[in-house]
Amino acid sequence: MALVDVYAGPQQRIADVGDYFALLKPRVMSLVIFTGLAGIVVAPGSIHLLSAFTALLCIAVAAGASGALNMAYDSDIDAVMARTATRPIPMGYVTREEALTFGWWLSVASVTIMGLFINLLAAGLLAFTIFFYVVVYTLWLKRATAQNIVIGGLSGALPPAIGWAAVTGHLSLAPLVLVAITFLWTPPHFWALALFRSDDYARAGVPMMPVVAGKTSTRRQIFAYTLLLLPVGLAPAALGFAGPLYLAATGAMSAWFLYGATRVLFERDAVKEPAARKLFFISIAYLFVLFAALIAERLVGISPFGAWL
Amino acid sequence: MDDREIELHNARARKRRNLAVGLVLAGMVLLFFLMTIVRLGGHVFE
């Protein structure tokens, strides 16, 4: 037998750069970058453009690292869910160990750079965000309770506070209001997804609300969280750190969100769940428009209501 | 994909991965250099 034949077994496709990029959950990362940018832009005071870029890069890399670690620890769940079965680990392109190494190195790098070049509060919040998403949400809550995304939503909500801390070096009510908006937005957003993917979650044994409490209860809870979210969404204008553009945009989006949540509440098609699919889309648009309005007001120079007094 | 295609893909993937790692490391060196200047301001040569 020729020596080369010894190595000529069936070949396995190795991971491309794109597979590693997919580990970073780019769509989630883009939302985190956006809300983090809002925190940087809205915060009082000034920051060098390169420092702002570095802070945003650290937030983005940390979000990506959390995504990679989540995919590594949840690869057993991902493999049995239709939505996630084509991710790089279930497909066999990247091993779980490679994803863990990739994720933890990026986590350490992002927190270290944030601490070295921005400030320790921003770095500490960034480390807490990674810890909360990976350890508290992924390793513990996700498989343990139907409240998984309610509590775990805190990690996805923190980027505006990190952006704010990067500029000011401290926290105040305003960034916490921005955190509260994303925190209260998370349940209606993910439960809308869970309504039309409930079979997937049930097959994977993930205790999402529709699997554990049923669809009727989930619809009521989506509506309840929507009622909680909408006034908090208007709070930046009421508290004076947002202006008329934000108020108009939030007013319109709140009405759309409420309409979508009401349609979900009275949905009759429990198989296709068209209202939940629509609400999932509305929720993404809602968060995007709110933070876009905040950023636009600062960039265009529209004064917040607080400056009118 | 047959073995030949996989082999070609793997060779291309390795090249792209090496290039990506190189670019990221170069980017980090540049970022450290520029951020050092930003942090030290006008006192960078003192």
B27 close contact with A: CB closer than 8 A: no
* Token pair for A140: 């513990």
Given this model, what pLDDT does residue A306 score? Answer: 85
Spatial contact of A42 and A174, defined as CB atoms under 8 Å apart: yes
- Rounded Cα distance, A184 and A274, in Å: 23
- Rounded Cα distance, A248 and A231, in Å: 14
Residue A5 has pLDDT above 80, yes or no: no
Residue A263 has pLDDT above 60, yes or no: yes
Given this model, what pLDDT does residue B1 score? Answer: 73
Given this model, what pLDDT does residue A12 score? Answer: 83
| Bigger pLDDT: A43 vs A270 | A43
Nearest to B1 among A13, A16, A50 (CB): A13
Q: What is the average pLDDT value for chain A, to the nearest integer?
A: 94
- Rounded Cα distance, A93 and A297, in Å: 44
Nearest to A50 among B3, B17, B38 (CB): B38
Please give the ipTM for the structure prediction: 0.81
Amino acid identity at A147: Q
Interchain CB distance below 8 Å, B13 and A54 = no
Residues in A closer than 8 angstroms to B6, CB to CB, are 11-13
Residue A6 has pLDDT above 80, yes or no: no
Given this model, what pLDDT does residue A171 score? Answer: 96
Given this model, what pLDDT does residue B43 score? Answer: 67
Spatial contact of A287 and A182, defined as CB atoms under 8 Å apart: yes
Interchain CB distance below 8 Å, A17 and B34 = no
Closest-approach residue (CA) in chain B for A109: B28
Task: Tell me whether residue A126 is exposed, middle or buried, using C-beta atoms within 10 angstroms of its C-beta: 0 to 12, 13 to 18, 19 or more.
Answer: buried
Each residue's pLDDT tens digit, A145-167: 999 999 999 999 999 999 999 99
Q: Where in chain A does DSSP place strands (E)?
A: none
Residues in B closer than 8 angstroms to A22, CB to CB, are none
Amino acid identity at A41: V
Each residue's pLDDT tens digit, A182-197: 999 999 999 999 999 9
- Rounded Cα distance, A294 and A286, in Å: 13
Amino acid identity at A297: E
Nearest to A11 among B6, B12, B38 (CB): B6
Percent of chain A exceeding pLDDT 70 equals 96
- Rounded Cα distance, A114 and A92, in Å: 33
Interchain CB distance below 8 Å, A50 and B34 = yes
C-alpha dihedral sign at B35, B38, B41, B42? positive
Spatial contact of A261 and A188, defined as CB atoms under 8 Å apart: yes
Residue with tokens 């296709």: A272
Q: What angle do CA A155, B39, A297 make, to 5 degrees?
A: 55
- Preferred mutation among B14, B21, B31, B44 to probe A, highest tally of A CBs within 10 A: B31
Interchain CB distance below 8 Å, A11 and B14 = no
Closest-approach residue (CA) in chain A for B11: A14
Could you tell me which of A229, A184, A193, A186 has the C-alpha nearest to residue A211? A193
